[in-house]
Amino acid sequence: MKISFFIAVFIISISGIYSQNAVPKFDYRVGSGVSLVGSGDVLLFNFENELNYKLNKYFTSSIGIKLGQGLKDYYHPVANFVQGNCNLYLSPFNNERNLDIRFGGGLSYYKYNGTSLVRSTIIVNGITVASYKNEKRSSFGFNMIIEMSYLISNKFLIGVELFTQPYFNDINSGVMFTGGFRF
- Residue 165 is assigned to a structural domain of this protein: yes
pTM of the model: 0.81
pLDDT band, residue 4 (cuts 50/70/90): low
- Residue 13 is assigned to a structural domain of this protein: no
CATH code at position 84: 2.40.160.20
**In 111-123, which positions are buried (b, 16+ CB within 10 angstroms) versus exposed (e)?**
ebebbbeeeeeee
- Residue 57 is assigned to a structural domain of this protein: yes
Residue 11 is predicted with a pLDDT of 59
Measured distance CA(4)–CA(15) in Å, rounded: 16
- Residue 56 is assigned to a structural domain of this protein: yes
Q: What is the pLDDT of residues 85-105, one digit of tens each?
A: 999 999 999 999 999 999 999
- Residue 9 is assigned to a structural domain of this protein: no
Average pLDDT on 33-38 reads 92
- 98: containing domain: 24-182
- Residue 177 is assigned to a structural domain of this protein: yes
How many domains does the chain contain in total? 1
Average pLDDT on 100-124 reads 88
Q: Do 58 and 65 touch, CB atoms closer than 8 A?
A: no
Length of the chain, please? 183
Q: What percent of the chain has a predicted confidence (pLDDT) above 90?
A: 64
- Residue 8 is assigned to a structural domain of this protein: no
Residue with more model confidence, 155 or 12: 155
- Residue 82 is assigned to a structural domain of this protein: yes
Residue 155 is predicted with a pLDDT of 93
